[in-house]
Structures are given as structure tokens and as C-alpha cells.
Structure 1
Amino acid sequence: MAGDDLLGGGDAEQEADIERARIAHGLIAGVSGLSPSDVPHALCRSCATLLPAASGLSASMLADGSDMGVVLFASDDVAARLAEIQYTLGEGPCREAVRLRAPVFGTDLSRERRRWPLYSVQAVKAGVRAAFSLPLMGAGSALGTLDLYRETPGALSRGDIRTALLVADAVTLAVIALDHASPHPDGVVTWLAGAESDREEVHQATGMIMVQLGVSASEALLRLRARAFAQGRTSTDVARAVIDRSLDLGAD
């Protein structure tokens, strides 16, 4: 189901634009004047208020040309875990939403094993039965995703989907607006610095594995992800272990 179809056309589209602007203004106003460390939590709280039909939610951002996502915010540990494992496993609704540049819904994850054989099992183990991912679109490409989950199977109502699409657009606008307002000389959003460091750890660990095993970057990342999955850990956790040399994949 395409996002544009849900938002309608003509007068409905104009109303959607007004509602989108209202939500974006509210999100930006909600984080204005806050310290960088407080921004993600405030943005998350505002999104959760707007989307009560979800049991939890998260937003992840992608760097240009990167295969790793940065969790911008998560409403709870389950939402954070769901976001992280999709980049660890290389599959799931958020990965598909980025690839298709369209919303991707899994309304009953216990029946999605053919579609997402690894992710669906891990999600159900975490008590999640439905997941919904909406791309954060900017300049024709997906900057990241807004991801919702529910503890019970079933589709979101048409109204809930419409609101979620508008919130996803508003989050994109808020991130871009805050990026442009950043005092950093390179235009980097300072409140993403902590999350960016997580991705840098994965890159650093990948480089170390390349040297240790004499493999390509893609093979090194695949091995890191495989170890993370086998141990029920995140890619970031395993990367940190590689960096501090408490884990040596060359010993396998």
C-alpha cells in the first residue's frame, strides 16, 4: 500500500500538507533549546504521543553509502533491539523499506519466516508480533526509517497508517532542520555524535578483522554479523569486543 495513496489527492493532499507541517512544527518546537543529549529522548516522546497504536517505536538513520544504521532514538529496550538486529542480520522490514523506498509492514511475524527467516524468529522471541517500517525520505533516497512494533498481530488502521506516514515525514523535516541549525562546521548534527561513534566502532572492528583474517571488507562485516547473531548480541557489542581484543575472530 503506497504512502501517497493513503494520504489522498486534491483537497486531501492539501490537508495532509497542513497536518504534516503542524506535526513537524510540534516536533521541532519540542526539542528547541534542549541540550544535544536531550534531543533524541524528546523527539521519541513526541512521536510516541502521536502514535499510541504502537507498543513501541524507534528511528534509525543511514550515512551515505553506509550499510550500517544509527539508532537515533528508541522508546524502549525492545524497540532498540529490533532496530539493531536488523542491521546485524541484514534483513527485516527497515532494511526492505530503505531498499524499496516505501512502507513495509509485517502484520504477523510468526508467519513471516519465508520473508525474514532470521529477523522474524528473533522478533517473536522478544514478544513482538507485528512490525511496521516507514522510510524517512529526503532528496529521492531514504535517510533512515521510522519503525513501529506491536505486541499483538494485526494491521494498523488506515487512520493510524496515515498518521504514521505524516510523523515519518515530520521526523525527516525535523532532522534536516536541526542539521542545518547545527553549529558544527561540517554541518553534523551534534546530538547524533554518540550514535555515530557506535557505527565507527563497527567500521573499526571490520578493518581489524580484515587484517586478522586477510579477507575483504564485506566478508569481514559478514563474519562480525554472524558472530553477533550466533551469540545473541548486537554488531556494536561484538565490534567493541574486537576492538578491546577480548574477542579474536581469527581464533575460530
Structure 2
Amino acid sequence: MSWWEPGAEDAEQETQLLRTRITRRLIGAVQDVPSASVPQALCRACVSLLPDISGLSLSVLGRKAGMGVVLFASDEVAGQLAEIQYTLGEGPCTEAVRLRAPVFAPDLARAPDARRWPLFCVQAAKVGAGAAFSMPLTAGAKVLGTLDLYQETAGPLDGDRLRTALLVADALSLAVTAFDRAAADSDGVVTWLQGAESDRVEIHQATGVIMVHLGVSAEDALLRLRARAFTQGSTALDVARAIIDGSTDIRHE
């Protein structure tokens, strides 16, 4: 038996019922959970709500342009897909942010998906993804981030799975907004969302190093970091760490 049993005949009522149950599931998942454990608690809840998806991740936009923050990933492939898109600057999630609308890529090995994001599709296939779907998390006119899903095999996201995914993204938008607005505690500990962004401190630091040594803008420095990551078959985060510890010399780029 499915976790969701429609209790109303009217389609709109059914959707509202599903929305309510999804919201309650996410709220219940994080009740009495320490702030540091909230992302993984939400991840487990999302996986239970979308059991037919191979994997998923949630990313939010950083406070600087191009700085994405992966809050959680259900598995290694989902995490790699998020990093690949962040490194390359292309893929369904970047398109979803730009368009402020869901973006679906049901077959990453064929056109039109392979033509839209040629670099991403090649790398996605290498890590084991056949299809990818991205839904923006929004608050008014602002895009907070994306809920990204993948399937090991090609195929559309349709029917009840599509409806559930869209409603999960809506509920996560509320969750991200609510938790980010939570007041810091008496010791000055930042909110869980702000803390998650600190995971990208190496990217900020490495970008600064490139700017100083090469005399380029922050945007150009980030592009150079991503380009190096791509040519090395690595991630932007790994390259950033190498720049910071001195094992990668960028002075002669």
C-alpha cells in the first residue's frame, strides 16, 4: 500500500490533501532534531516521499553569485551530480534557477538533453545517471535553490511522481525559509542554513587567491577555478582545497 491514499474525489482536493501530508511529514521529520542534523533528517523524509527516484539532493544559492551550497544528498551519485553542475555551471539545476521553473531531462544520452548541456550530460552518464529533474525552491520572486532528482535509467517524471515531487519542492521552500529565519541562540550560533554555507569557505578562499595572483575579477576567478576542475576531471571544491594548501600553483595560468 502506498504511503498516500487519496481521500477526495476532486483532483484539486486530492492535491491539497497530498500537500498537507507532505508538509506534515517534513515537519515531523525535523521536530526535536538538533540544528546540525536538520538537513539529513529532511533528506530521509524526502527519500521516503519519493521512493521510486534513484536519488536526490537539495542545493541552495550562496550569498555570492555562482556559489551553490549542497545541503544534502541521498547518495554519492546525487552528490556528484550536484558538484558536476556547480563545477561546470550548466545542467538542469542551473536552468531551473534561471527560468524559475522546473526543468526535466528524461534522457541525458540523447537530444535534446545532450545538446542543451553537452558537458554535464557526458559527466552525468559517467557517474550513472540516465535522467535528471530539477525543481526550483522559491519564495516570492526569489529563487532559494533547487530540489534535484535523478534516475539511473532514462525515462520521464510523470503522473503521481511528478505531482509529489513538485509538492515536495514547495514544502522544502517553506522549510528552508523558516529555518533560515530562525534566530541565533544566545551563544551566537548561526542558523543551520548559514552554517551549511560555510562548507563552501574553501571556494571563497581559493577564488580570492586567484583574484590576487592573476588580477582578475571574482567572477573570472570562479570561472577559472571551474575550468581547471573540469580539465582535471575533479570538482571545484577539490581544486579549491589544492589551491589553498599550495599543491596547485595558479600563478602562471
Does the pair score TM above 0.5?
yes
* Larger relative contact order (CA 8 Å, sep ≥ 6): 1
8 Å CA contact 2:206, 2:243 repeated in 1: yes
Superposition pairs for residues 1-252 of structure 1, below 5 Å?
Answer: 12-64=11-63, 66-111=65-110, 112-184=113-185, 188-190=190-192, 192-193=194-195, 195-252=196-253
SS in 1 for 2:251: helix
Structure 1: runs of 5+ lacking an equivalent: 1-10
CA distance in 2 between counterparts of 1:118 and 1:184 reads: 44
Rate the CA distance shift 1:192–1:49 in 2: closer, same or farther, 3 A.
Answer: farther
- How far did 1:204 drift? 1.5
8 Å CA contact 1:55, 1:151 repeated in 2: yes
- How far did 1:63 drift? 2.9
Structure 2: runs of 5+ lacking an equivalent: 1-9
Rate the CA distance shift 1:244–1:230 in 2: closer, same or farther, 3 A.
Answer: same
Range 100-109 or range 168-177, more displaced:
168-177
CA distance in 1 between counterparts of 2:48 and 2:163 reads: 15
Q: Which amino acid aligns with 2:245?
A: D
Q: Which amino acid aligns with 2:138?
A: M
Q: Which amino acid aligns with 2:191?
A: V
- How far did 1:123 drift? 0.2
- How far did 1:50 drift? 0.5
- How far did 1:247 drift? 1.2
CA distance in 1 between counterparts of 2:53 and 2:226 reads: 28
Note the alpha carbon deviations across 1:109-143, whole angstroms, 9 max, x for none: 00122100110000011111000000011121210
Count of aligned pairs between the two proteins: 241
RMSD of aligned alpha carbons: 1.9
Q: Which amino acid aligns with 2:107?
A: D
CA distance in 2 between counterparts of 1:187 and 1:16 reads: 38
Note the alpha carbon deviations across 1:46-100, whole angstroms, 9 max, x for none: 1001001210000000134531110010001110010111011010000000000
CA distance in 2 between counterparts of 1:96 and 1:209 reads: 27
8 Å CA contact 1:109, 1:120 repeated in 2: yes
Range 233-242 or range 87-96, more displaced:
233-242
Rate the CA distance shift 1:182–1:239 in 2: closer, same or farther, 3 A.
Answer: same
